Amino acid sequence: MSEFGSVGQEKIYTVTEITREIRGILEETFPTIWVEGEISNYTLHSSGHRYFSLKDENAQIRCTLWRFRGERLEFEPEDGMEVIALGNISVYERNGQYQLDVIELIPAGLGKLEIAFQRLKEKLFCEGLFDEEHKKSIPKFPETIGLVTSPTGAAIKDIIKIIYKRFPSVKIIVNPVRVQGKGAAEEIAQAIDEFNQLAKIDVMIVGRGGGSLEDLWAFNEEIVARAIYCSEIPVISAVGHQIDFTISDFVADLRAPTPSAAAQMVVKDKEELLKELRSNAQKLTSYQTSLIEYLKQRLKAAQQSYGFRRPLDLISQRSQRIDELARQFLDRIKNYFEFQKNGVFLNEEKLEALSPLSVLKRGYSIARKLPELEIIKEAGWLKKEDRLEVKFFKGKVESKVEQVDSG
Protein backbone atom coordinates (compact mmCIF):
# COMPACT_ATOMS: atom_id res chain seq x y z
CA MET A 1 0.00 0.00 0.00
CA SER A 2 1.19 3.50 -0.81
CA GLU A 3 2.25 5.82 2.01
CA PHE A 4 -0.63 8.13 1.02
CA GLY A 5 -3.30 5.46 0.82
CA SER A 6 -5.05 3.84 -2.06
CA VAL A 7 -5.22 5.85 -5.26
CA GLY A 8 -8.60 4.40 -5.96
CA GLN A 9 -10.08 6.04 -2.87
CA GLU A 10 -9.01 9.59 -3.80
CA LYS A 11 -10.32 11.86 -6.57
CA ILE A 12 -7.82 12.26 -9.34
CA TYR A 13 -7.85 15.69 -11.07
CA THR A 14 -6.71 16.40 -14.55
CA VAL A 15 -4.44 19.42 -14.93
CA THR A 16 -7.31 21.35 -16.52
CA GLU A 17 -9.69 20.43 -13.70
CA ILE A 18 -7.38 21.45 -10.89
CA THR A 19 -6.47 24.67 -12.71
CA ARG A 20 -10.13 25.55 -13.12
CA GLU A 21 -10.81 24.65 -9.49
CA ILE A 22 -8.02 26.99 -8.37
CA ARG A 23 -9.30 29.67 -10.74
CA GLY A 24 -12.79 29.50 -9.26
CA ILE A 25 -11.47 29.75 -5.71
CA LEU A 26 -9.26 32.75 -6.48
CA GLU A 27 -11.86 34.66 -8.48
CA GLU A 28 -14.51 34.08 -5.82
CA THR A 29 -12.20 35.01 -2.94
CA PHE A 30 -10.74 38.13 -4.61
CA PRO A 31 -13.46 39.57 -6.88
CA THR A 32 -12.13 43.16 -6.83
CA ILE A 33 -9.03 44.23 -4.91
CA TRP A 34 -6.49 47.06 -4.65
CA VAL A 35 -2.83 46.06 -5.08
CA GLU A 36 0.17 48.34 -4.56
CA GLY A 37 3.57 47.68 -6.09
CA GLU A 38 6.33 48.66 -8.51
CA ILE A 39 5.87 48.26 -12.27
CA SER A 40 8.36 46.00 -14.06
CA ASN A 41 8.55 44.40 -17.53
CA TYR A 42 6.08 46.97 -18.87
CA THR A 43 4.98 46.34 -22.47
CA LEU A 44 2.53 48.29 -24.65
CA HIS A 45 1.45 45.76 -27.28
CA SER A 46 0.57 46.77 -30.84
CA SER A 47 -3.00 45.70 -30.02
CA GLY A 48 -3.18 48.49 -27.44
CA HIS A 49 -3.21 46.10 -24.48
CA ARG A 50 -0.68 46.71 -21.70
CA TYR A 51 1.19 43.90 -19.95
CA PHE A 52 3.40 44.30 -16.87
CA SER A 53 4.22 42.94 -13.43
CA LEU A 54 3.68 44.47 -10.01
CA LYS A 55 6.39 43.57 -7.53
CA ASP A 56 7.65 44.29 -4.04
CA GLU A 57 10.68 42.97 -2.14
CA ASN A 58 9.41 39.39 -1.91
CA ALA A 59 6.94 38.68 -4.71
CA GLN A 60 5.43 39.74 -8.01
CA ILE A 61 2.15 39.32 -9.90
CA ARG A 62 1.46 39.53 -13.61
CA CYS A 63 -1.00 42.23 -14.70
CA THR A 64 -3.06 42.91 -17.81
CA LEU A 65 -4.61 46.28 -18.69
CA TRP A 66 -6.92 45.94 -21.67
CA ARG A 67 -6.93 48.58 -24.39
CA PHE A 68 -10.39 50.09 -23.67
CA ARG A 69 -9.32 50.73 -20.08
CA GLY A 70 -5.78 51.79 -20.85
CA GLU A 71 -6.99 54.53 -23.19
CA ARG A 72 -8.57 56.28 -20.19
CA LEU A 73 -5.28 56.54 -18.28
CA GLU A 74 -4.19 60.09 -17.44
CA PHE A 75 -0.50 59.08 -17.33
CA GLU A 76 1.78 56.64 -19.13
CA PRO A 77 3.05 53.79 -16.91
CA GLU A 78 6.73 52.90 -16.96
CA ASP A 79 9.13 50.51 -15.26
CA GLY A 80 10.03 51.49 -11.70
CA MET A 81 6.85 53.50 -11.13
CA GLU A 82 5.00 52.88 -7.86
CA VAL A 83 1.28 52.46 -8.52
CA ILE A 84 -1.95 51.28 -6.93
CA ALA A 85 -4.04 48.99 -9.15
CA LEU A 86 -7.70 48.06 -8.85
CA GLY A 87 -8.51 44.76 -10.51
CA ASN A 88 -9.83 41.21 -10.52
CA ILE A 89 -7.77 38.07 -9.89
CA SER A 90 -7.95 35.58 -12.76
CA VAL A 91 -6.05 32.46 -13.84
CA TYR A 92 -4.63 32.01 -17.32
CA GLU A 93 -5.27 28.29 -17.77
CA ARG A 94 -2.80 27.63 -20.59
CA ASN A 95 0.27 28.19 -18.41
CA GLY A 96 -1.39 27.91 -15.00
CA GLN A 97 -0.44 31.43 -13.91
CA TYR A 98 -2.70 33.73 -11.95
CA GLN A 99 -2.81 37.41 -12.88
CA LEU A 100 -4.52 40.71 -12.09
CA ASP A 101 -6.94 42.10 -14.69
CA VAL A 102 -6.50 45.82 -14.02
CA ILE A 103 -9.59 48.05 -13.98
CA GLU A 104 -8.00 51.27 -12.72
CA LEU A 105 -4.39 52.37 -12.27
CA ILE A 106 -3.32 55.29 -10.07
CA PRO A 107 0.16 56.59 -9.18
CA ALA A 108 0.89 55.56 -5.60
CA GLY A 109 1.79 59.14 -4.68
CA LEU A 110 -1.89 60.05 -4.76
CA GLY A 111 -2.46 57.84 -1.73
CA LYS A 112 -5.58 56.22 -0.39
CA LEU A 113 -7.26 59.50 0.52
CA GLU A 114 -6.98 60.77 -3.03
CA ILE A 115 -8.50 57.55 -4.28
CA ALA A 116 -11.40 57.89 -1.84
CA PHE A 117 -11.79 61.55 -2.86
CA GLN A 118 -11.97 60.77 -6.57
CA ARG A 119 -14.36 57.86 -6.10
CA LEU A 120 -16.78 59.88 -3.93
CA LYS A 121 -16.52 62.86 -6.29
CA GLU A 122 -17.44 60.66 -9.25
CA LYS A 123 -20.30 59.03 -7.32
CA LEU A 124 -21.87 62.32 -6.23
CA PHE A 125 -21.38 63.85 -9.67
CA CYS A 126 -23.30 60.97 -11.23
CA GLU A 127 -26.08 61.47 -8.67
CA GLY A 128 -26.38 65.14 -9.67
CA LEU A 129 -25.21 66.72 -6.40
CA PHE A 130 -22.97 69.14 -8.31
CA ASP A 131 -25.60 70.28 -10.84
CA GLU A 132 -25.81 74.05 -11.33
CA GLU A 133 -29.60 74.06 -11.55
CA HIS A 134 -29.80 72.87 -7.95
CA LYS A 135 -27.65 75.67 -6.57
CA LYS A 136 -29.41 78.47 -4.70
CA SER A 137 -28.57 82.17 -5.10
CA ILE A 138 -26.82 83.98 -2.26
CA PRO A 139 -28.94 86.86 -0.82
CA LYS A 140 -27.47 90.30 -1.55
CA PHE A 141 -28.32 91.79 1.84
CA PRO A 142 -28.52 89.03 4.46
CA GLU A 143 -29.69 90.04 7.93
CA THR A 144 -28.55 86.88 9.76
CA ILE A 145 -25.55 84.72 8.85
CA GLY A 146 -24.87 81.26 10.27
CA LEU A 147 -21.30 80.03 10.78
CA VAL A 148 -20.40 76.33 11.01
CA THR A 149 -16.75 76.19 12.03
CA SER A 150 -14.37 75.73 14.95
CA PRO A 151 -14.97 78.21 17.80
CA THR A 152 -11.22 78.51 18.46
CA GLY A 153 -9.65 78.63 14.99
CA ALA A 154 -8.35 81.65 13.11
CA ALA A 155 -11.11 81.29 10.51
CA ILE A 156 -13.96 82.34 12.81
CA LYS A 157 -12.05 85.41 14.01
CA ASP A 158 -11.30 86.53 10.45
CA ILE A 159 -14.88 86.00 9.27
CA ILE A 160 -16.50 87.88 12.16
CA LYS A 161 -13.99 90.73 11.98
CA ILE A 162 -14.46 91.28 8.24
CA ILE A 163 -18.27 91.00 8.31
CA TYR A 164 -18.68 93.51 11.16
CA LYS A 165 -16.23 95.88 9.49
CA ARG A 166 -18.13 95.78 6.20
CA PHE A 167 -21.70 95.78 7.58
CA PRO A 168 -21.94 96.08 11.39
CA SER A 169 -25.72 95.58 11.63
CA VAL A 170 -25.56 91.98 10.37
CA LYS A 171 -26.35 89.33 12.98
CA ILE A 172 -23.98 86.34 13.21
CA ILE A 173 -24.94 83.01 14.81
CA VAL A 174 -22.15 80.47 15.40
CA ASN A 175 -22.80 76.74 15.63
CA PRO A 176 -19.39 75.51 16.91
CA VAL A 177 -18.06 72.17 15.68
CA ARG A 178 -14.86 70.19 15.44
CA VAL A 179 -13.43 70.56 11.96
CA GLN A 180 -10.99 67.63 11.96
CA GLY A 181 -10.56 64.27 13.60
CA LYS A 182 -12.98 61.48 14.46
CA GLY A 183 -16.60 62.60 14.60
CA ALA A 184 -15.95 65.99 12.98
CA ALA A 185 -17.93 65.21 9.82
CA GLU A 186 -20.95 64.12 11.85
CA GLU A 187 -20.82 67.35 13.91
CA ILE A 188 -20.62 69.50 10.77
CA ALA A 189 -23.58 67.72 9.15
CA GLN A 190 -25.63 68.02 12.33
CA ALA A 191 -24.86 71.74 12.64
CA ILE A 192 -26.05 72.32 9.06
CA ASP A 193 -29.29 70.47 9.82
CA GLU A 194 -29.80 72.49 13.02
CA PHE A 195 -29.42 75.79 11.17
CA ASN A 196 -32.09 74.66 8.71
CA GLN A 197 -34.52 74.45 11.62
CA LEU A 198 -34.00 78.18 12.31
CA ALA A 199 -36.10 80.21 9.88
CA LYS A 200 -34.13 83.40 10.55
CA ILE A 201 -30.86 82.23 8.95
CA ASP A 202 -30.44 83.83 5.50
CA VAL A 203 -27.14 82.26 4.44
CA MET A 204 -24.61 79.87 5.94
CA ILE A 205 -20.80 79.73 5.81
CA VAL A 206 -19.30 76.26 6.35
CA GLY A 207 -15.54 76.00 6.57
CA ARG A 208 -12.19 76.19 8.33
CA GLY A 209 -8.65 77.42 7.81
CA GLY A 210 -5.95 75.68 5.82
CA GLY A 211 -4.29 72.35 6.53
CA SER A 212 -3.17 69.07 5.02
CA LEU A 213 -5.47 66.75 3.11
CA GLU A 214 -5.96 64.76 6.30
CA ASP A 215 -6.82 67.94 8.25
CA LEU A 216 -9.46 68.94 5.69
CA TRP A 217 -10.87 65.45 5.26
CA ALA A 218 -14.08 66.05 7.26
CA PHE A 219 -15.23 68.29 4.40
CA ASN A 220 -14.70 65.40 1.96
CA GLU A 221 -17.05 63.07 3.84
CA GLU A 222 -20.29 62.00 2.15
CA ILE A 223 -22.41 62.88 5.20
CA VAL A 224 -21.30 66.54 4.98
CA ALA A 225 -21.84 66.67 1.21
CA ARG A 226 -25.40 65.38 1.52
CA ALA A 227 -26.19 67.76 4.40
CA ILE A 228 -25.08 70.71 2.25
CA TYR A 229 -27.07 69.43 -0.73
CA CYS A 230 -30.25 69.01 1.35
CA SER A 231 -29.91 72.43 3.02
CA GLU A 232 -32.75 74.84 2.29
CA ILE A 233 -30.42 77.68 3.35
CA PRO A 234 -27.83 78.79 0.76
CA VAL A 235 -24.38 77.47 1.73
CA ILE A 236 -20.98 79.05 1.07
CA SER A 237 -18.10 76.58 1.35
CA ALA A 238 -14.90 78.19 2.71
CA VAL A 239 -12.35 75.45 3.34
CA GLY A 240 -8.59 75.94 3.48
CA HIS A 241 -6.62 78.00 0.99
CA GLN A 242 -7.29 78.90 -2.64
CA ILE A 243 -5.50 75.78 -3.92
CA ASP A 244 -7.52 73.45 -1.68
CA PHE A 245 -10.62 71.81 -3.16
CA THR A 246 -13.00 69.61 -1.18
CA ILE A 247 -16.20 67.72 -1.96
CA SER A 248 -18.03 70.42 0.02
CA ASP A 249 -16.84 73.03 -2.51
CA PHE A 250 -18.48 71.17 -5.40
CA VAL A 251 -21.81 70.64 -3.59
CA ALA A 252 -22.13 74.12 -2.02
CA ASP A 253 -24.10 76.91 -3.65
CA LEU A 254 -20.95 79.06 -3.73
CA ARG A 255 -17.28 78.26 -3.19
CA ALA A 256 -15.02 80.81 -1.47
CA PRO A 257 -11.25 80.31 -1.84
CA THR A 258 -10.66 81.20 1.85
CA PRO A 259 -12.74 81.95 4.96
CA SER A 260 -11.79 85.64 4.69
CA ALA A 261 -12.98 85.71 1.08
CA ALA A 262 -16.28 84.16 2.18
CA ALA A 263 -16.81 87.06 4.60
CA GLN A 264 -16.20 89.55 1.80
CA MET A 265 -18.54 87.71 -0.55
CA VAL A 266 -21.46 87.32 1.86
CA VAL A 267 -21.99 91.03 2.69
CA LYS A 268 -21.53 94.28 0.80
CA ASP A 269 -19.34 97.04 2.18
CA LYS A 270 -21.57 99.73 3.72
CA GLU A 271 -19.28 102.59 2.71
CA GLU A 272 -19.08 101.34 -0.86
CA LEU A 273 -22.87 101.10 -1.05
CA LEU A 274 -23.31 104.66 0.20
CA LYS A 275 -20.66 105.91 -2.21
CA GLU A 276 -22.40 104.14 -5.10
CA LEU A 277 -25.77 105.63 -4.10
CA ARG A 278 -24.37 109.16 -4.02
CA SER A 279 -22.66 108.64 -7.37
CA ASN A 280 -25.88 107.42 -8.98
CA ALA A 281 -27.77 110.41 -7.57
CA GLN A 282 -25.22 112.80 -9.08
CA LYS A 283 -25.39 111.03 -12.45
CA LEU A 284 -29.19 111.23 -12.48
CA THR A 285 -29.17 114.94 -11.64
CA SER A 286 -26.59 115.61 -14.34
CA TYR A 287 -28.60 113.63 -16.87
CA GLN A 288 -31.82 115.51 -16.10
CA THR A 289 -30.06 118.87 -16.37
CA SER A 290 -28.50 117.90 -19.70
CA LEU A 291 -31.85 116.68 -21.02
CA ILE A 292 -33.58 119.94 -20.12
CA GLU A 293 -30.79 121.98 -21.70
CA TYR A 294 -31.01 119.87 -24.85
CA LEU A 295 -34.77 120.40 -25.10
CA LYS A 296 -34.36 124.15 -24.56
CA GLN A 297 -31.79 124.30 -27.37
CA ARG A 298 -34.14 122.44 -29.70
CA LEU A 299 -36.96 124.84 -28.82
CA LYS A 300 -34.72 127.84 -29.39
CA ALA A 301 -33.73 126.48 -32.79
CA ALA A 302 -37.39 125.93 -33.63
CA GLN A 303 -38.19 129.53 -32.63
CA GLN A 304 -35.56 130.84 -35.02
CA SER A 305 -36.72 128.68 -37.93
CA TYR A 306 -38.80 130.12 -40.79
CA GLY A 307 -42.00 128.35 -39.81
CA PHE A 308 -42.02 129.88 -36.31
CA ARG A 309 -41.14 133.49 -37.06
CA ARG A 310 -44.73 134.68 -37.14
CA PRO A 311 -46.27 133.23 -34.00
CA LEU A 312 -43.50 134.70 -31.83
CA ASP A 313 -45.92 135.70 -29.09
CA LEU A 314 -47.19 132.13 -28.75
CA ILE A 315 -43.68 130.79 -28.73
CA SER A 316 -42.68 133.33 -26.11
CA GLN A 317 -45.53 132.21 -23.90
CA ARG A 318 -44.67 128.55 -24.37
CA SER A 319 -41.03 129.29 -23.67
CA GLN A 320 -41.88 131.00 -20.41
CA ARG A 321 -44.07 128.05 -19.47
CA ILE A 322 -41.24 125.63 -20.23
CA ASP A 323 -38.84 127.68 -18.10
CA GLU A 324 -41.38 127.62 -15.28
CA LEU A 325 -41.87 123.86 -15.59
CA ALA A 326 -38.12 123.35 -15.77
CA ARG A 327 -37.63 125.29 -12.54
CA GLN A 328 -40.40 123.27 -10.89
CA PHE A 329 -38.88 120.07 -12.17
CA LEU A 330 -35.42 120.95 -10.90
CA ASP A 331 -36.88 121.98 -7.55
CA ARG A 332 -38.65 118.65 -7.26
CA ILE A 333 -35.52 116.76 -8.25
CA LYS A 334 -33.54 118.74 -5.70
CA ASN A 335 -36.13 118.05 -2.98
CA TYR A 336 -36.26 114.37 -3.89
CA PHE A 337 -32.51 113.91 -3.63
CA GLU A 338 -32.41 115.97 -0.46
CA PHE A 339 -34.99 113.57 0.97
CA GLN A 340 -32.92 110.57 -0.19
CA LYS A 341 -29.78 112.16 1.24
CA ASN A 342 -31.47 112.62 4.62
CA GLY A 343 -32.60 109.00 4.47
CA VAL A 344 -29.04 107.86 3.82
CA PHE A 345 -27.74 109.87 6.76
CA LEU A 346 -30.56 108.50 8.94
CA ASN A 347 -29.66 104.94 7.96
CA GLU A 348 -26.01 105.72 8.69
CA GLU A 349 -27.00 106.84 12.18
CA LYS A 350 -29.08 103.69 12.67
CA LEU A 351 -26.21 101.50 11.51
CA GLU A 352 -23.88 103.33 13.85
CA ALA A 353 -26.31 102.91 16.75
CA LEU A 354 -26.57 99.16 16.10
CA SER A 355 -22.80 98.72 16.01
CA PRO A 356 -21.33 96.91 19.05
CA LEU A 357 -18.58 99.52 19.07
CA SER A 358 -21.14 102.26 19.79
CA VAL A 359 -22.17 100.47 22.97
CA LEU A 360 -18.54 100.23 24.04
CA LYS A 361 -18.00 103.90 23.17
CA ARG A 362 -20.65 104.88 25.74
CA GLY A 363 -18.57 103.41 28.54
CA TYR A 364 -19.68 99.80 28.50
CA SER A 365 -17.37 96.83 28.16
CA ILE A 366 -17.58 93.16 27.21
CA ALA A 367 -16.25 90.51 29.58
CA ARG A 368 -15.31 87.13 28.11
CA LYS A 369 -14.08 84.13 30.04
CA LEU A 370 -10.68 82.78 29.01
CA PRO A 371 -9.71 80.72 27.22
CA GLU A 372 -13.15 79.91 25.72
CA LEU A 373 -13.93 83.62 25.02
CA GLU A 374 -17.46 83.00 26.31
CA ILE A 375 -19.33 86.26 26.89
CA ILE A 376 -20.23 86.60 30.61
CA LYS A 377 -23.72 88.01 31.28
CA GLU A 378 -24.02 87.20 34.99
CA ALA A 379 -21.51 87.20 37.85
CA GLY A 380 -22.83 83.81 38.91
CA TRP A 381 -21.27 82.28 35.83
CA LEU A 382 -17.80 82.87 37.32
CA LYS A 383 -15.82 81.52 40.21
CA LYS A 384 -12.71 82.69 41.98
CA GLU A 385 -9.45 82.44 40.01
CA ASP A 386 -11.29 82.50 36.64
CA ARG A 387 -9.46 84.55 34.02
CA LEU A 388 -11.27 87.22 32.03
CA GLU A 389 -10.65 89.29 28.93
CA VAL A 390 -12.38 92.70 29.23
CA LYS A 391 -12.78 94.61 25.94
CA PHE A 392 -13.29 98.39 25.97
CA PHE A 393 -13.97 100.79 23.13
CA LYS A 394 -10.22 101.07 22.74
CA GLY A 395 -8.11 98.17 23.85
CA LYS A 396 -8.63 95.23 26.18
CA VAL A 397 -7.21 93.85 29.43
CA GLU A 398 -6.91 90.46 31.08
CA SER A 399 -7.92 90.03 34.71
CA LYS A 400 -8.43 87.37 37.37
CA VAL A 401 -11.56 86.97 39.52
CA GLU A 402 -10.78 87.68 43.19
CA GLN A 403 -14.35 87.69 44.50
CA VAL A 404 -17.79 86.82 43.11
CA ASP A 405 -20.95 88.65 44.19
CA SER A 406 -23.99 87.13 42.46
CA GLY A 407 -26.49 89.58 44.07
- Residue with the bigger pLDDT between 307 and 43: it is 43
State the average pLDDT over residues 89-104: 87
Domain that holds residue 49: 7-114
Q: How confident is the model at residue 313 (pLDDT cuts 50, 70, 90)?
A: low
In a domain, 77, yes or no: yes
% of the chain surpassing 70 pLDDT? 91
Q: Which residue has the higher pLDDT, 315 or 65?
A: 65
pLDDT at 1: 46
| Residue 148: pLDDT over 70 | yes
Give the largest CA-CA distance in the chain. Answer: 147
Residues 157 and 67 in one domain: no
On the question of pLDDT at 118 being above 90, the answer is no
Tally of domains within the chain: 4
pLDDT in tens, 47-86: 999 999 999 999 999 999 999 999 988 788 999 888 999 9
Kindly state whether residues 348 and 326 are assigned to the same domain.
yes
Per-residue pLDDT tens over the stretch 200-242:
899 999 999 988 888 899 999 999 999 999 999 999 999 988 8
- Among 238-252, 330-344, 354-368, the minimum mean pLDDT is found in 354-368
Does 61 share its domain with 108? yes
Same domain, 167 and 292: no
Domain-embedded: residue 406: no
Average per-residue pLDDT in the chain? 86
Give the side-chain half-sphere CA count within 13 A for 283.
Answer: 6
pLDDT, tens digit (0-9, with 9 covering 90-100), for 28-53: 888 888 999 999 999 999 999 999 99
Domain assignment of residue 143, yes or no: yes
- Are 188 and 290 members of one domain? no
Quick one: 254 and 280 in the same domain?
no
| Predicted structure pTM score | 0.50
Same domain, 172 and 153: yes
The pLDDT tens digits of the residues spanning 342-358 come to 777 777 777 766 666 66
Residues 152-210 have pLDDT tens digits of 988 999 999 999 998 888 999 999 999 999 999 999 999 999 999 876 899 999 999 98
CATH number at residue 28: 2.40.50.140
CA distances from 306 to 23, 110, 294 (A): 109, 87, 20
- Residue 309: the pLDDT is 60
What pLDDT sits at residue 334? 85
Ranking 41-50, 66-75, 140-149, 395-404 by mean pLDDT, the lowest is 395-404
